A and B are shown apart, each in its own frame.
Chain A
Amino acid sequence: MSYYDVDAILTDAQKVPCTFEITVPGLGYLEGNPGNDIKQGAKLELPLWLGEMLAVSRNASEESNLTLDLPKCLSAHVVNALKADARTVELRALAPHFYALGARILDLFEDEELSSVLSESFKKRAREIADQAHNSGRSLGDAADFLRGLDEEERQLFRTAHESTKAVRVWMSELKKA
């Protein structure tokens, strides 16, 4: 992950649910009531970069500031849906950078099952993407419906697969012209 990678930055900006373990004075504006304190046990959605930093660091009395929870897009509900049929889940509606977020979360939580579910569903969906990219028409516009459900990484994959198919097709038609 590069420092200037826009997708990495956007992944870090996705929100994850956090529970505050300590009372923080004056941070109430995060909750929407400025001027007040954030109480111990308050649940908030924070960007991943902030939540991760606060969860990993320790304060002066050696307690963690907050605990991270699994984001909704990786909940058991979604995992079951992915297990049942990965191809029909609209990942983009769950999180625009679903797999990148999943990979970051897997760094923080050890969850063998989640990891294998994610890679299995990526493989299943990649196959579908390859077929669509190969068979969709000359422009990307035809595939708009299909693209709607894909997360950013899958879209990138679709685009490259479509480009290379198109390059061969262009070469063949140029052969005919010459």
Chain B
Amino acid sequence: MALPLPPGLTPAEVAFLCEMELVTVIPRQKLDSLHLLGGPVPVLQPPLRNNVPLWLALLLKKQRRANIVPPPWLNVESLSAILDHETERAPEDFSPPPKLPPIGDESSIISPPFLPTSTADGQPNALPYHWMELGEILLEAASDDFEDVDQVRRLLRDLREARLAKLRSGIDALDSGGGKPMNGIGGMEVAEGRSFICGVIDSLRKIGAAKEMAKREREDEDRTGYQGTADDEDEDMDMLR
């Protein structure tokens, strides 16, 4: 009996992974360094800002022991700019992900959630991998730390719709050999689109199987035919000699 879950991660699992992302907090109380499996959490000393994992930030926020600084991409200005990029300037592509740190840096961590993309000094004009879940979680848990909650929420929703529509229209390009660049797509979007896209690809492959087979056979024939003529030429050369 198969596990009754679809392939890939469920939204709750993606959100769980997202909770490892580092966010910036402004502590209201002093908190000693915590020694966790993922490394020590820095000493929290008000009013100094510090980066802590999202799950700890949420816990501290709930206990009113810290405020969360929203990441620089999660405000009206940045989100409007990204939305404009998505809909007007590059209506075919997803907006590019944040820049990776230069290779050869001493910290050779180049994948989320270990990149500080959502801390206060993250890149303001790019959506990180966990943008959707991080945005939703922060808007829900720390809405009083935002300047214009409703506007941010509306922009997030618009972005999500715009990008999902793009993801869906991408199936036109899917065929044997075709592809669609999905650079900059987020974790939750993958979780949402995976089953549909996999289903389409599977079905298209089934429909095209016979054609593909015929093509391969023809190519094989062509190749053997070519070798045949090559052999003939060799023989001719031999005869000439």
Contact = CB atoms under 8 A, between A and B. Distances in A.
Q: Is the interface of B mostly helix, strand, loop or mixed?
A: helix
Interface size class of A (residues with CB under 8 A): 35 or more
Contact of A165 (B169, B192, B208, B211): B192
A157 B200 CA distance: 7
A118 B214 CA distance: 16
A168 B196 contact: no
Given A107-B210, A115-B210, A157-B199, A164 B6 contact: yes
A134 interface: yes
Interface in A14-31: none
Contacts of A170: 11
Nearest to B195: A160
Interface in B58-107: none
A99 B172 CA distance: 18
A123 B164 contact: no
Contacts of B214: 110, 112
Nearest to A128: B168
A171 interface: yes
A126 interface: yes
A127 interface: yes
Given A164-B192, A167-B11, A134 B168 contact: yes
Contact of A172 (B10, B136, B191, B196): B136
Contacts, number: 96
B56 interface: no
A163 B6 contact: yes
Contact of A119 (B12, B191, B204): B204
A157 B210 contact: no
Contacts of B148: none
A103 interface: yes
Contacts of B188: 168
B195 A103 contact: no
Interface size class of B (residues with CB under 8 A): 20 to 34
A137 to B, nearest CB: 17
B11 A168 contact: yes
B207 A106 contact: yes
Nearest to A131: B168
B147 interface: no
B141 to A, nearest CB: 8
Given A127-B171, A134-B164, A164-B6, A99 B196 contact: no
B203 interface: yes
A112 B191 contact: no
Nearest to B188: A168
B193 interface: yes
Interface string A107-118: 100101001101
14 contacts: A99-B203, A100-B206, A119-B204, A119-B207, A122-B207, A123-B171, A126-B203, A130-B196, A153-B203, A157-B196, A163-B6, A164-B196, A165-B192, A171-B15
Nearest first, the 5 A-B pairs at minimum CB distance are: A171-B11, A106-B210, A161-B196, A160-B195, A130-B168
Interface of B: 6, 10-12, 15, 136-137, 140, 164, 168-169, 171-172, 174-175, 188, 191-196, 199-200, 203-204, 206-211, 214
Interface of A: 99-100, 102-103, 106-107, 110, 112, 115-116, 118-119, 122-123, 126-127, 130-131, 133-134, 153, 156-157, 160-161, 163-165, 167-168, 170-172, 175-176, 178
Given A102-B207, A127-B172, 9 more contacts: A106-B209, A110-B214, A118-B207, A123-B175, A130-B196, A157-B203, A160-B6, A165-B192, A175-B136
